Structure 1
Amino acid sequence: MDKVAEILAEASAQAVEPRFRALAAGEVMEKAPGEVVTIADREAEAIITRRLHELLPVPVVGEEAVAADPSLADAIHDEPAVWLVDPVDGTSNFVAGRPDYAVMCSLVRTGRTVASWIWQPATATGYRAELGSGAWRDSERLTRPPAPADAGKLTGVLKSRFLDPVDRHRLEAGCSAFGEISPGRSAAGIEYPDVVEGRTDFIFYWRTLPWDHAPGSLLLAEAGGVAARLDGTPYQPEAPGCVDGLLVAADPDTWERTRGILLNA
């Protein structure tokens, strides 16, 4: 667990942090309509991939590698174990000079996330989780604090960018039953720890890329929270495009209440 945390922090220090608010012309590229990638993403992923493979020689499924060759994501189901890597989670924030970005990794065995790591460079904070062994921020074990019993006091995030207009309108209507609702911080590696630490009570995601959600979902589950599909199935990493829709919440009761309000709006 400590070795992987070191790999992420060192790759960040070498390839990512020196370029924060210092990206040169030509170091930001569009990889898909509305989505950017930087030289920091690519260099950090190359470093992390090499060192993880030295640590445990199983396939490394990195976000940028999959962007170049989508078939690489098949390893999530085809191989008994894989590493998932998000070299710069929140690239749009990174490009804009906002500190809400993270470097993330998880280990998946037979389709289930068994370990995860999140490094937040702006605050030099590391989160990690191991299946059955708990969630941690640096050396402190984490337990999700109780959420408000009153739905009107719950704080949440609705990620509606990839929803069709009808579903977006329906879910946004349901949000009137809650307290403060925000569009989120554009980085799962920031948003999941916010739920774990009690700054947010729930988040509804639609698009669920595996390198975005495997790390935080395990962290949250090990801290006492819930990350599940809308039918109640616990989150498991899927290749991009396989399954969409994910509700994460502070605890099982908050998950049930939130799902009921959103789907019955």
Structure 2
Amino acid sequence: MTIDIDAVTGILREAADTAVLPRFRALAEHEVSEKSPGEIVTVADNEAEELISPRLRELLDVPVVGEEAASADPGLLRALRREPAAWLVDPVDGTRNFARGSTAFAVMAALVREGRTVASWILRPTEDRAYVSELGSGSWRDGTRLHREPAPADPAELRGAVLSRFLSPTARERVVSAAPAFAEVGPGAHCAGVDYPQLVEGDLDFVLFHRTLPWDHAPGSLLLTEAGGVALRPEGDPYRPDDERVGLLNAADGTAWRTVRSLLLA
């Protein structure tokens, strides 16, 4: 079944306009809670997911694996491995940023078939910007096709981000030691829905993640690969949302990926 790409974008926009933007910089204290140690959720996350999930099933009646639903019932993740198709939903990616009043958040969705991401959506509500991708058909930003140019060959010219929060002390020390070899190694936006578009659009040349939850990385990894970049596990395997391993190195091109891997992960 062919999915109406624009219809999904419209669903995300509606959820953002209804449940997310009205609460931006207007959250009451009781509307933010801790769902697990160090992880927060807001009323906007829950309400947006409740709006998006049934609407997606109207387009294609397959299981919906939403971040908040899976937090309450981790068994939902099995659908990515056992079902022929499933939706992924991240109702507010970058929740902590959103709760702090930062615009670095996104509303995201993806469609997975047989363990592969075949379509994805990243909406930046405060920017009124939508990124969409379809396997084999390319990546687009508001109707403009995206193509990631190769990165500089010299590592001293590469700009990247490393999400170090979940790294082991040894891995974190390795990153600190290797950082001077690059032009810049920052902490990223703490929002995959921001980091991936920055990589695709040339603001970054690489991004290293440790934790790779499917609703965080299925949308952006397809956006990147369909624009000509690479999203590979440290072992060199392509990213798949049904793969529970940790570690994901994204780069502008294969040469940059190998250079960064040799310096950061050797």
TM-score bucket of the superposed structures, by smaller chain? over 0.9
Q: Deviations over 1:220-254 (max 9, x none)?
A: 00000000000110000036xx2100000001111
Deviation at 1:40, TM superposition (A): 0.3
Q: How many residues align?
A: 262
Q: Please report the TM-score for the alignment, with normalisation by the length of structure 1.
A: 0.97
Give me the whole-angstrom Cα distance separating, in 2, the residues matched to 1:25 and 1:168: 34
Residue 177 (str. 1) matches residue 181 (str. 2)? yes
Q: Map 1:150-161 onto structure 2 (within 5 A).
A: 150-161=154-165
Native 8 Å contact 2:86 2:112 kept in 1 = yes
Partner of 1:111: 115
Q: What amino acid sits opposite 1:231 in the alignment? A: E
Tell me the distance in 2 between the aligned counterparts of 1:245 and 1:67. 21
Q: What residue is the counterpart of 1:231 in the other structure?
A: 235
Local SS of the residue matching 1:147: coil
Q: Which amino acid aligns with 2:18?
A: Q
In the alignment, the residues of structure 2 paired with residue 175 and residue 248 of structure 1 have an alpha-carbon distance, to the nearest angstrom, of 16
Q: Is the 8 A contact 2:189 2:195 kept in 1?
A: yes
The correspondence for 1:209, drawn from 213, 226, 234, is 213
* Cα separation, 1, equivalents of 2:245 and 2:126: 32
Tell me, in whole angstroms, the C-alpha distance in 1 between the residues paired with 2:245 and 2:179: 23
Q: Aligned ranges for residues 89-100 of structure 1 at < 5 Å?
A: 89-100=93-104
SS at match of 1:85: strand
Instruction: Give the one of 251, 258, 261 matched to 1:259.
Output: 261
Q: CA deviation at 1:145?
A: 2.3
Cα distance, 1:209 vs structure 2 = 0.4
What residue is the counterpart of 1:22 in the other structure? 26
Give the counterpart letter for 1:93 in structure 2: N
Which residue is 2:225 aligned to? 221
Residues in 1 aligned to 2:203 and 2:265: alpha-carbon distance in whole angstroms? 24
Q: What is the letter of the counterpart of residue 135 of structure 1?
A: S
Residue of 182, 189, 194 corresponding to 1:190? 194
**Contact 2:153–2:255 at 8 Å: present in 1 too?**
no
Return the alpha-carbon distance in structure 2 between the equivalents of residues 163 and 25 of structure 1.
Answer: 30
Report the counterpart of residue 249 of structure 1 in structure 2.
251
Question: Which residue does 1:31 correspond to in 2?
Answer: 35
Structure 1 regions of 5+ residues with no counterpart?
A: none
Give per-residue Cα distances to partners, 1:16-68, cap 9 Å, x unaligned. 00000001231001001111000000000000001001110000000000010
Offset of 1:256 from its aligned partner? Answer: 1.0
Residue in structure 2 matched with residue 73 of structure 1 by the alignment:
77
Contact 1:209–1:238 (CA under 8 A) maintained in structure 2? no
The reply on whether 1:130 has 2:134 as its aligned counterpart is: yes
Q: Which residue number in structure 2 is paired with residue 49 of structure 1?
A: 53
Q: Does the 8 A contact of 1:132 with 1:222 survive in 2?
A: yes
Pairwise CA distance, 1:93: 0.3
* Percentage of matched positions with identical amino acids: 58
What secondary structure, in the 3-state scheme, does the structure 2 residue paired with 1:26 have?
helix
3-state DSSP class of the match of 1:256?
helix
- Show structure 1 runs of 4+ deviating over 6 A: none
Report the aligned-residue RMSD.
0.8
Is contact 2:49–2:89 with CA below 8 Å preserved after alignment?
yes
Q: Deviations over 1:157-186 (max 9, x none)?
A: 011111111121112212221111100101
Partner Cα distance (2:115, 2:195) in 1? 23
Normalised TM-score (structure 2):
0.97
Superposed displacement of residue 149, structure 1: 1.7
- 2:77 partner SS: helix
The secondary structure found in structure 1 opposite 2:108 is strand
